[in-house]
C-alpha cells in the first residue's frame, strides 16, 4: 500500500491551475504529525478492517485538517506553520482561501472512492460532514472569544471540543464504522477521541508558551500575541491577585505592540501561579479518561496496544 504522501503526490501531480494546487501540495506534503490518519488506521486495525479502504478515509480527514489550517492561519494572521511560511504568507490570502476550499472538496471526494457500498459511504459521510460543521462552530467561538470580555473555562473547553476534539473523534468513529464495529464500540471510540482532543489542545496551549521554537514549528507565544484566551490564561485569571489580574486583562484587551515584553510579563505571571504544572495535570486527567474509554471497547488488549501507546506518549510531546 502506498504511503499517504505517495497518494497525495499522485492526486496532485500535474494538476492545473498551478496557483490553486501548488499551495495544496505545499501543505499536504509537509512533515506534519499525521495524527488524524493514524487514528483512522488504528481504529480500523483494532477491528480487523481493510487497510486500503482505511487509507481513503485517513486521506479525507488529513485533507480536512489541512484545509482548516490554511483558513485558520489567515484568520489568525499566523506567519509560520510547521516551521515554514503559511500558505497566505507564501502566496496571498485570496489564493489561500480558494486552495483551502478546493482541499475541502477533495477531502469529500476521497470518501466517494470507498468500495463498501452506498450505506457505508453515507454513514461515514454523515460523521465527516458533522465533524466539518462543528469545526467551523469551534473556530467561530474561538474568534468570538478574542473580543468577548469574559470567557469561562467551561466555555473554553466547549470551544476546543468542537475545534479540535471532534476531528479526533470523527477519525476514530469513522474507522470503527469502516471496520464493522458495533454502535457501542463506535461510541466508545468517539468518546475517546473527544477526551484525546481536549488533552491534545491543552498540551498545545502549554507548548505555545513553553516549547522550544525549533521543536514547535510555530511562533512561540503566538496565543499571547493574538490575545487568545487559552486554558492557561483563564486559569491564571482565576488565581491571580488583583494586580496580576489587571495586568493580564490590560495586556489582552489591546493589540500587541511590544510582543517580547508582553510575552515576558504574561509568562512571568503564569510561572508565579504555577499554571504550567496545573495545566499539565489536566492533560493527564484527560489522558486517563481516554484510557478508560479504551478499556470499554470489546476487543483483546493486544489490539489496543498501539493506540494506547499513542495516547500515553501525548503527555511528553514537544510539538
Read off the pLDDT of residues 167-199 as tens digits, 9 standing for 90 and up: 999 999 999 999 999 999 999 999 999 999 999
- Cα 176 to the center of its chain, rounded Å: 20
Q: Which of 297, 298, 309, 223 lies closest to 267, judged by CA?
A: 223
Q: Which three cell numbers stand for residue 175?
A: 474507522
Q: Is 84 helix (H, G, I), strand (E, B) or coil?
A: strand
Task: Summarize pLDDT for 266-289 with one digit per residue, the tens.
Answer: 999 999 999 999 999 999 999 999
Task: Summarize pLDDT for 72-110 with one digit per residue, the tens.
Answer: 999 988 898 888 999 999 999 999 999 999 999 999 999
Which residues are CB-contacts of 246 (< 8 A; sequence separation ≥ 6)?
A: none
Task: Give buried/exposed letters for 108-139 (b at 16+ CB in 10 A, else e).
Answer: eebbeebeeeeebbebbbebbeebbebbeebb
Q: Where are the domains of the chain?
A: 15-316
Mean pLDDT of the chain: 94
Q: Which of 252, 243, 249, 245 lies closest to 221, judged by CA?
A: 252
Q: Is 136 helix (H, G, I), strand (E, B) or coil?
A: helix
Q: How confident is the model at residue 317 (pLDDT cuts 50, 70, 90)?
A: confident
- Domain 15-316 fold is Farnesyl Diphosphate Synthase (1.10.600)
- Residue 43 near residue 304 (C-beta atoms within 8 A): no
Amino acid at each position: 500500500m502506498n504511503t499517504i504522501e505517495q497518494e497525495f503526490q499522485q492526486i496532485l501531480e500535474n494538476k492545473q491551475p498551478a496557483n490553486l494546487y501548488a499551495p495544496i501540495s505545499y501543505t499536504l506534503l509537509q512533515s506534519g504529525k499525521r495524527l488524524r490518519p493514524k487514528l483512522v488506521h488504528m481504529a480500523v486495525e483494532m477491528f480487523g478492517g481493510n487497510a486500503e479502504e482505511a487509507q481513503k478515509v485517513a486521506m479525507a480527514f488529513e485533507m480536512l485538517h489541512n484545509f482548516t489550517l490554511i483558513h485558520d492561519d489567515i484568520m489568525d494572521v499566523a506567519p509560520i506553520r510547521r516551521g515554514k511560511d503559511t500558505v497566505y504568507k507564501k502566496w496571498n490570502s485570496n489564493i489561500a482561501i480558494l486552495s483551502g476550499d478546493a482541499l475541502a472538496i477533495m477531502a469529500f471526494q476521497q470518501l466517494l472512492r470507498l468500495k463498501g457500498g452506498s450505506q457505508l459511504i453515507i454513514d461515514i459521510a454523515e460523521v465527516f460532514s458533522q465533524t466539518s460543521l462543528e469545526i467551523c462552530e469551534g473556530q467561530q467561538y474561538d474568534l468570538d472569544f478574542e473580543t468577548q470580555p469574559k470567557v469561562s473555562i467551561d466555555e473554553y473547553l466547549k470551544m476546543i471540543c468542537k475545534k479540535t476534539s471532534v476531528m479526533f473523534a470523527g477519525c476514530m468513529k469513522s474507522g470503527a464504522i469502516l471496520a464493522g464495529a458495533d454502535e457501542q464500540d463506535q461510541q466508545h471510540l468517539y468518546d475517546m477521541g473527544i477526551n484525546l482532543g481536549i488533552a491534545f489542545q491543552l498540551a498545545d496551549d502549554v507548548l505555545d508558551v513553553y516549547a522550544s521554537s525549533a521543536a514547535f514549528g510555530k511562533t512561540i507565544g503566538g496565543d499571547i500575541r493574538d490575545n487568545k484566551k487559552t486554558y492557561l490564561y483563564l486559569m491564571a485569571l482565576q488565581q491571580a491577585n488583583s494586580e496580576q489580574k489587571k495586568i493580564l486583562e490590560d495586556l489582552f484587551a489591546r493589540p500587541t505592540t511590544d510582543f517580547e515584553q508582553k510575552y515576558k510579563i504574561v509568562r512571568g505571571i503564569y510561572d508565579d501561579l504555577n499554571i504550567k504544572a496545573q495545566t499539565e495535570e489536566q492533560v493527564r486527567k484527560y489522558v486517563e479518561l481516554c484510557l478508560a474509554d479504551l478499556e470499554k471497547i470489546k476487543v483483546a488488549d493486544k489490539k489496543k496496544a498501539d493506540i494506547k501507546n499513542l495516547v500515553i506518549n501525548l503527555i511528553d510531546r514537544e510539538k
